[in-house]
Amino acid sequence: MLRRFKNKWEILRQKVYIIIYGANTFAGKLFDLVLLAVILLSVVLVMLESIESFDMKHHFSLKVFEWIITVFFTIEYVLRILCNKKPLKYIFSFYGIIDFISILPMYLSFFIVDAQVLTVIRAIRLLRLFGILNLVPYIGQESHLKLAIKASRTKIIVFVYFVLVVSIILGALMYVIEGKENGFTSIPKSIYWCIVTLTTVGYGDIAPQTLQGQMIASLIMILGYGIIAVPTGIVTAEFSNIKRNRIDARKRRNCTACTTTIYDEDANYCYNCGQKLNDVFKK
């Protein structure tokens, strides 16, 4: 009898697994959509709660919704562990940790008063939407981007490192020139100002007041103007390169007789063995 129960349990486990982890069955799709809605709802809830005037008026209903979502997420988390053959792999995966952390704060709020503020961590669950919304399968798109970023990774790291070193040096310089009385109260703050300026964000909460400071700031801005061209140039060149290679690859075909690769899309005969080529390319 235990065996039969075990069998039943195994069948149930597999069914739940297909619903939760799969997306090909109707139930699986439905679960994904419900999860999508609940994640979005939970993020909206956290947002609304942070608006003081709204929280005052609807504190009780917000709390109720909060608990409903927490219970839903808890059930989902437990089911994900139970129905998985390798539960530890899930628990210590990126999503497993996020799922766990996003249900934790509500339970902690029994013991620690301010724990609820941590519910904002749930926002990270939004990353699951990339999977649910089928944005990953757009691999053609994704991989383009990923390939371009991967190819230009080292260059971008060197670039970011360069920006940081320049910011530290120029930040220290501005600290000496402008001084504490003009808002450059410390070197870290000066470096922060320098990054704000180099990236052309320009809050204006700190701004040079002396003529020398403004002259150096102008130089930094023009430098930043030139620097912005570098990552754009790198990524664009990689993009174009990947694109061109793709196109080249698409135009290739093989001779049916000698399997030579033919690059010329208008060729009628194999340049190697004279075999008549069939016209595969629409023109």
Q: Which of 79, 81, 230, 277 binds its own copies (CB under 8 A)?
A: 230
Contact flag: residue 261 with its own copies (CB under 8 A) = yes
Residue (of 115, 113, 118) closest to 98 by Cα position: 118
Cβ distance to its own copies smaller for residue 81 or 242: 242
Pick the binder of its own copies from 87, 88, 269, 276 (CB under 8 A). Answer: 269
Burial of 235 (0-12, 13-18, 19+ CB in 10 A): middle
Does 212 help bind its own copies (rule: CB under 8 A)? no
Shortest reach from residue 257's CB to its own copies, in Å? 13
The answer to whether 106 contacts its own copies (rule: CB under 8 A) is no
Task: Please select the residue that binds its own copies; options are 11, 30, 47, 78, rule is CB under 8 A.
Answer: 47
Per DSSP, the chain holds a count of helices (H) and strands (E) of 12, 2
Q: How many residues bind its own copies (CB under 8 A)?
A: 96
> Is 43 a residue that touches its own copies (CB under 8 A)?
yes
Nearest to 28 by CA among 139, 132, 125: 132
The span from the CA of 125 to the CA of 154, in Å, is: 29
Nearer to its own copies, 24 or 261 (CB): 261
The single residue among 205, 257, 276, 279 that binds its own copies, judged by CB under 8 A, is 205
In the bound state with its own copies, the residue whose beta carbon lies nearer, of 74 and 185, is 185
* Cα 18 from Cα 31, distance rounded (Å): 10
Q: What minimum distance in Å lies between the beta carbon of 8 and its own copies?
A: 40
What is the DSSP track for 263-282? Answer: --TT-SB-TTT-PBPP----
Which pair of tokens denotes residue 160? 């970011």
